[in-house]
């Protein structure tokens, strides 16, 4: 379940993410796999976005950076 979720979430637009997660919950009832967190990568992405690139370090942006890293 986690592989299915983590592999497909980065490909889905944010508005459809909730629908996809509900579908997975219906397919795997009672199975709740925690999301893998890479705190070092999140911190580096925040610092790089804010300090070096002049971007906002919004939560969704950081999540997409981590998702991209997981796909690669």
User: Global pTM?
Assistant: 0.56
Looking at the structure, do residues 18 and 42 belong to the same domain, yes or no?
no
Number of domains in the chain: 2
- Nearest alpha carbon to residue 17 among 30, 31, 35: 35
Domain limits for position 52: 37-72
- Phi and psi at 34, nearest 5°, equal -70, 150
Looking at the structure, do residues 26 and 3 belong to the same domain, yes or no?
yes
pLDDT tens-place values along the chain, 72 residues long: 777 887 788 788 888 989 999 998 898 888 877 777 788 999 999 999 888 888 887 888 888 888 788 777
Alpha carbons 49 and 19: distance in angstroms, whole number: 29
Do the beta carbons of residue 62 and residue 49 sit within 8 Å? yes
Alpha carbons 15 and 60: distance in angstroms, whole number: 12
């Amino acid at each position: 379940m986690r592989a299915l979720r983590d592999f497909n979430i980065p490909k889905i637009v944010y508005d459809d993410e909730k629908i996809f997660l509900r579908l997975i919950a219906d397919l795997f009832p009672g199975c709740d796999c925690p999301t893998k967190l890479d705190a070092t990568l999140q911190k580096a992405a925040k610092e790089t976005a804010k300090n070096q690139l002049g971007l906002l370090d919004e939560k969704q942006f950081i999540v997409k950076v981590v998702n991209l890293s997981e796909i690669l």
